[in-house]
Amino acid sequence: MLQTTKYIDPLIDFAFKKIFGSDSNKDLLIDFLNEVFNGRKHIVDLIYNKNEHPGELKKDGGVIFDLLCTGDHNDHFIIEIQRGKQQNFKQRALFYTSRLISDQAPKGKRSAWGYKLTEVFLIALLEDTIASDFSKEQYLHEINLCDRNTGKVFYEKLGYIYIELHKFVKTADELETGLDKWLFALKNMGTMDKVPAGFATPVFEKLFNIAQYTNLTKEEKMLWDNNLKRKWDNQNVLDYALNEAREKGHELGHQEGHQEGHQEGHQEGHQSGIEQGARESIRKTAVKMKEKGLSFQQIAEITDLKISEIEAL
C-alpha cells in the first residue's frame, strides 16, 4: 500500500479526474471556475464533453484534453494540469483552443453562419513555470488578444489562464478569497492530515471528503496507488538522470578544459561538457521510460525531448 497521507493529491491524474471530472462533482468544478473568473463570468451549469478530440481527417492531429466542459452559455472550458516543464506548452494551448474554434464551423454550406463563435477558455494549473517572461512573483496570469501598444483587449471570447501553483506561497492563516482557498487546497492537500480552519463550507467539506483515501473504493485505491507509483518512478528516473548528467558534465568539462590549456578554454570546455553530458543522460532516461511503457507524450513532458527524437531512440 503506497498511500502515506490522509488525502489524495489532486494534481495527479486519477485524483484530478475523480474530484473534478464527473457529473456528481461538477459543483466543485463550477465553484472553482467561478472563483478563477472572479465575477467576469458566472457559470451556473456545466456539461462534460469527451476529452478525446480527433481531427476531421486521419492526417489531422487529434488532441486529448485533461477536462473539456461546455457551460450554460455554450462557452467551452479546457482544464489542464501541467505537472512539470514541457517543451512548447504555450503552442499546445494555442493548438487546443484553435481546434475548438475551428470545429464550430458548420459542415457543408457556410454562407448563413456568419462566424458566430462561442467563447473558448483554457485554464492551466502548473506545478512549474512554462515561460521565462512570466513575473517571478505573480502566480495568476490572464492572457488574451489585445492591442500591443494600448493593452486594450481586442477579442474577449478567447482566453488563457495560467496558475503557477509553485508561486502561491500563502499560509492557511493568510487566505482571503475563495480562490486562495482553492489554490491552497490544490497545492497542499496531498500532504495534509486534517481540514484547515476556514474550510468549513459545503464545497470544501465535499472536496476533502472525496479526496480522503479511506473513502475510495478498492478499485479506486488500486488506480490511485498505480498513479502514485508511476509519479514516484518517473521522478526517481529523472532525478537519477539529472545527477548523472551533472557528474558526467563536470568530468567532460574538466577534460575539455585541460585540453584547451588555459582558463578561458577550461570554462568553455566545462560548460560544453555539462551540456553534452546532460543531453546524453536525458536520452538514456527516455530509453528507460520507453522500456517502462510510458507513452511518447509522457516522456516528452518529462524530458523536453521532441516526440520524433523519442521515436528514434
Does residue 232 share a domain with residue 192?
no
Does residue 96 share a domain with residue 28?
yes
Does residue 227 share a domain with residue 195?
no
Does residue 274 share a domain with residue 131?
no
pTM value is 0.73
Does residue 172 share a domain with residue 154?
yes
Does residue 253 share a domain with residue 128?
no
Exposed, middle or buried by CB within 10 Å (0-12, 13-18, 19+), for 118?
middle
In a domain, 66, yes or no: yes
Does residue 263 share a domain with residue 292?
yes
In a domain, 2, yes or no: no
CB distance 27 to 203 below 8 Å: yes
In a domain, 189, yes or no: yes
In a domain, 7, yes or no: no
> What local confidence, expressed as pLDDT, does residue 241 receive?
61
Parent domain of 262: 222-312
Question: Residue 168 and residue 139: Cα distance in Å, rounded?
Answer: 6
Residues contacting residue 69 through CB under 8 Å, at least 6 positions apart:
26, 29, 46, 47, 48, 49, 76, 77, 79
In a domain, 1, yes or no: no
> What local confidence, expressed as pLDDT, does residue 131 receive?
67
* Unique residue bearing C-alpha cell 539529472: 242
Q: What is the 3-state secondary structure (H, E, C) of 107-143?
A: CCCCCCCCCCCCCEEEEEEECCCCCCCCCCCCCEEEE
* Unique residue bearing C-alpha cell 467576469: 40
Q: How many independent structural domains does the chain possess?
A: 2
* Unique residue bearing C-alpha cell 485533461: 66
Half-sphere exposure in the Cβ direction for 95 (13 Å, CA): 14
> What local confidence, expressed as pLDDT, does residue 16 receive?
92
Does residue 229 share a domain with residue 212?
no
In a domain, 45, yes or no: yes
| Cβ count near 162 (within 10 Å) | 24
Domain's final residue, options 165, 199, 216? 216
Domain's final residue, options 216, 244, 270? 216
Does residue 292 share a domain with residue 184?
no
Domain's final residue, options 216, 232, 249? 216
Question: Residue 215 and residue 303: Cα distance in Å, rounded?
Answer: 35
Does residue 175 share a domain with residue 29?
yes
| CA dist 107 → 114, 115, 118, 125 (Å) | 13, 13, 16, 34
Question: Residue 269 and residue 257: Cα distance in Å, rounded?
Answer: 5
In a domain, 146, yes or no: yes
Q: What is the pLDDT along the chain (313 residues), one digit of tens a residue?
A: 555 679 999 988 889 999 999 999 999 999 999 999 999 999 999 999 987 655 554 444 556 778 999 999 999 999 998 876 666 788 889 999 999 998 888 876 656 778 889 999 999 999 877 766 677 789 999 999 999 999 999 999 999 999 999 999 999 999 999 999 999 999 999 999 999 999 999 999 999 999 999 999 999 888 888 877 776 666 666 666 656 655 665 565 555 555 554 555 555 555 555 566 667 777 887 887 777 777 776 677 677 777 778 888 8
Does residue 24 share a domain with residue 117?
yes
In a domain, 195, yes or no: yes
Does residue 256 share a domain with residue 166?
no
